[in-house]
Amino acid sequence: MRSNYSLFIILNSFILVAAVIIFSEKQWQAVGIYTSILFFYFLFFLPGFKFIAGNIDMLVSWKRKYYALVPIGLFLLTMIPSFLVIPKTPVELSLFFGIYAESTVFYFGLFLVCVQYGKGLLENMNRQLRDNQGEHSSKKTKKLLLVNPQNPDKMGLSKSVAFLHPPMALGVIAAMTPDHFEIQIIDENIDHFDFEEADLVGITSLTTSISRAYQIAREYQKRNIPVVMGGIHVSANQDEALQYAEAIVIGEAESVWKQVIEDFMTNSLKPKYYGEHLDPSLLVEPRRDLFSNKYLFATVQTSRGCPLNCVYCSVTAFNGNKFRQRDPEEILDELERIPQQKIFFVDDNIIGYGKKAEKRAIQLFKGMVERKLNKKWATQTSINFADNPELLYWAKKSGCQVVFIGFESPTPEDLREMNKPINIKRDYRTVLNTINKHGIGVCGAFIYGTDHDTPEYLKKKSEFIWKIKFNVNVLMVMTPFPGTRLYQKMLDDDRLLFTNFPEDWKKYDTFELVTKIIGNTEDKFWEEYFNITQRLYSRVNFVKMFIYTLLRTRNFEGTLWCFMMNQGYAKLALQRREWHEIDKRN
């Protein structure tokens, strides 16, 4: 199907050309107009269908088929001016409307064929995942239930479908569990949670959803079913978590999960298990056959750890300050076993730190091209992603569509406060332009709510972001997560606005102001935040940014990825505004 859709379109276009020549009554003005129509037909239909045929598994599983209307909508919109110059003879008018109608019907007909193909593709993908995992012939004597809870009260990134990806940590735990366990994964971002019988329950959670994690844990404690909890929040708040679980895992779980299972089998679970930072070669591939097929992306991790130690980031506390890299050949082998075309590399920085790490990233991207993996991917990276033309070339060649970069702030004062020296003295516009020229979109992330965010400075920050025109804009609120230096500072200075824990943890979602800002008020802060998000995420600006990104990157598929991401962040901003208005009324 993927190799035939362009042939269908070309054949249909030849039919339209023949119709123009036969029925235009040799009026060259009409021939010129119809030729222009066909030009736009190719301009939007061909790349549009390339995106649809290449992403039909995503469109079907996500149930967001209306994205397939973008090419036809652009085609019909651009043809409106032709009404002003079209010849008015009955034959010419009939031909004009005939081309419109035939093109539209053909488009939707071919799209429906693609949808049916996509449903079959999803079935084959699930079958391949099961085959890759292999048959487990052992008799199932125990059941392990693994849960990824969701914050029920807040939007957050985890509730926007555009940002969902499988809970890799639970997939890894599943892969390390003995074969005689029946394993089920419930991700509340995808599935509705109902109580399931189990012999052992494992729960991982982010700070914003930890209160929900504790609620689920309580339900199993009431039934005397042991609960093991882990993750960054649990590692930072051990005593709190132990009130809701028989055992907690502190740090990376791979090194201790075998011991946890052995102790469970002998009814001798310990309260705390301390995970070590393993060598990357010992990391385990997750059980992807247990994940739902509703996720847009498969996830792959190529490295762990970060030496930067930004004040607001918990990565260093959890994964260490040493950058640990997997061998590129191991990663390529894993990618070959993944049937999904869409990949999100969950690394904190895909290119790492230093020339050696950069060469390893290039080796990985080259390998993806040489093995003809045909993956489309996104990832997080640092600002120096733009510094090496060879790196950018192979990243795009291997399928990179968009990169998420934490620019954080345009001023050195903010960056020093955040301990982000890598961004100081960098020209953000040059970084954006360089990456765009290589056909890759840039998701620019900024932080509002620093100690320098006076009303005047916030306006300057907003104007800077507005003028730069990142392909995707992310405006987060400074959030002190447990385990970070920022949290300790805010706690010591008595600047936390919400401290009724664990209930108030749900407010710590990067889109809620949870600290007192020096030199500003909450009302002034939200006024500026809502002003800039309303400008950035307006429908008019969406259209402008779509055209701007398409012209800058010359990458139709990447442009649609950016469009979808902007939609997701727009929903977050709208939800945040609604909550703020409700809070003021109360």
437: tokens are 């020229």
Regarding whether 201 and 75 lie in a shared domain, the answer is: no
Q: List pLDDT tens digits, range 289-335.
A: 898 877 878 899 999 888 888 899 888 778 877 888 999 999 999 99
The pLDDT value recorded for residue 498 is: 94
- C-alpha triplet 186, 188, 193: angle, nearest 5°: 70
Instruction: Assess if residue 283 is contained within a domain.
Output: no
Q: Which CATH number characterizes residue 559's domain?
A: 3.80.30.20
Q: In terms of domains, do 87 and 189 share one?
A: no
pLDDT band at 34 (very low <50, low <70, confident <90, very high): low
Instruction: Report the mean per-residue pLDDT for the chain.
Output: 83
Residue 285 lies in a domain: no
Whether residue 398 is found in the same domain as residue 504: yes
- Identify whether the C-beta of residue 17 lies closer than 8 Å to the C-beta of residue 103: no
pLDDT (tens digit, 9 = 90+) per residue, 325-383? Answer: 999 999 999 999 988 888 999 999 999 888 999 999 999 999 999 999 989 999 999 99
Least confident of 23-37, 206-220, 356-370: 23-37
Longest dimension (CA), the chain: 90
- Residue in the structure block whose two tokens are 């709510």: 449
Residue 162 lies in a domain: yes
**Which element (helix H / strand E) includes 557?**
helix 556-585
Instruction: Tell me the pLDDT tens digit for each residue of 233-289.
Output: 999 999 999 999 999 999 999 999 999 999 999 999 999 999 988 888 788 899 988
59 and 151 both lie in a single domain: no
- Residue whose entry in the numeric block shows the structure tokens 């397939």: 68
CA separation for the pair 468, 175 (Å, rounded)? 44
Q: How many CA atoms lie within 13 A of 123 on its CB side?
A: 6
Q: How many CB atoms lie within 10 A of CB 444?
A: 22
Point out the domain boundary residue: 70, 105, 133. Answer: 133
166 in the same domain as 25 = no
Q: Do 252 and 125 belong to one domain? A: no
Check residue 440 and report its DSSP letter.
-
CB atoms within 10 A of CB 135: 8
Which of 105, 133, 161 lies at the terminal end of a domain, its last residue? 133
Kindly state whether residues 186 and 262 are assigned to the same domain.
yes
Give the Cβ contact number of residue 176 at 10 Å: 16
Domains in the chain: how many in total? 3
Which of 125-129, 171-175, 323-327, 543-547 shows the highest mean pLDDT?
Answer: 171-175
Q: Considering the domain boundaries, does residue 282 fall inside one?
A: no
Together in a domain, 226 and 327:
no
Given 274, 303, 329, the domain boundary residue is 274
| Same domain as 14, residue 151 | no
Nearest to 352 by CA among 322, 319, 393: 322
Q: Does residue 287 fall inside a structural domain?
A: no
Q: Residue 2: pLDDT band by 50, 70, 90 thresholds?
A: very low
Q: What is the pLDDT of residue 156?
A: 47
Residue 424 lies in a domain: yes
In contact, 428 and 407? CB cutoff 8 Å: yes
| Residue pLDDT, tens place only, 81-97 | 555 555 556 656 666 66
Same-domain status, 153 and 119 = no
What backbone phi and psi angles, to 5 degrees, belong to 273? -125, 130
Q: Of 116-125, 454-463, 498-507, 522-531, which range is least confident? A: 116-125
Q: How many Cβ atoms sit within 10 Å of the Cβ of residue 153?
A: 15
In this prediction, what percent of the chain has a pLDDT beyond 70?
73
* 35/150: higher pLDDT: 150
Q: Are residues 151 and 120 in the same domain?
A: no
CATH number at residue 230: 3.40.50.2300
Q: Which H or E element spans position 200?
A: strand 200-204
Could you tell me if 29 and 89 are in contact, meaning their C-beta atoms sit under 8 angstroms apart? no
* Dihedral over alpha carbons 531, 536, 539, 540 (to 10 degrees): 100
Q: Give me the helix-helix angle, 5-23 and 90-133, nearest 10°.
A: 180
Tell me, yes or no, whether 281 lies in a domain. Answer: no
Write the CB contacts of 119 (distance below 8 Å, at least 6 apart in sequence): 60
Strand partners, 146: 185, 202
Q: Is the pLDDT of residue 574 over 90?
A: no
pTM: 0.81
Token digits for 144?
Answer: 């392990």
In whole angstroms, what is the distance from residue 13 CA to residue 19 CA? Answer: 10
Spatial separation of the C-alpha atoms in residues 230 and 226, rounded to whole Å: 14
Residues 375 and 524 both lie in one domain = yes
Q: Which residue has the tokens 């005939």?
A: 98
Q: Is the peptide bond before 307 cis (omega within 30 degrees of 0)?
A: no
The torsion region of residue 120 among left (phi > 0), alpha (psi -120 to 50) and beta comes to alpha
Q: Which residues pair with 230 in a beta bridge?
A: 204
By residue range, what is the domain housing residue 147? 142-274
How many C-alpha atoms does 313 have within 13 Å on its Cβ side? 19
Whether residue 439 lies inside any domain: the answer is yes
Please report where in the chains the tokens 């390998």 appear, as a residue: 367
